[in-house]
Amino acid sequence: MIKVDLDKAKLIAHDRRRAAREQEFAPFDNVIAKQIPGASAQAAEAERQKIRDKYAVMQIAIDAAQTPDAIKAALE
């Protein structure tokens, strides 16, 4: 039987969460950082907040997970 170190699994899950969040942020970061004409920085920031909220919920679910399956479910 394979035993999973739940703490290490959570750390790995958080790394995956951060990487996914970074990818979702990228297009909006470009709008804000480059001040692209015709692109609204306010709209980009609103989208960034939606992403933050999504991943905050995911972070809570990962931290509360008691099984590897619960961690996997949180990442979906």
Q: Which segment of 6-10, 39-43, 70-74 scores lowest on mean pLDDT?
A: 39-43
Q: For residue 22, which amino acid is it? A: E
Q: Distance between CA 19 and CA 66 in Å, rounded?
A: 23
36 confidence band (pLDDT: 50, 70, 90): low
Single pTM value for the model? 0.78
Position 46 pLDDT exceeds 70: yes
Strands (E), the chain: none
Calculate mean pLDDT across residues 66-75: 95
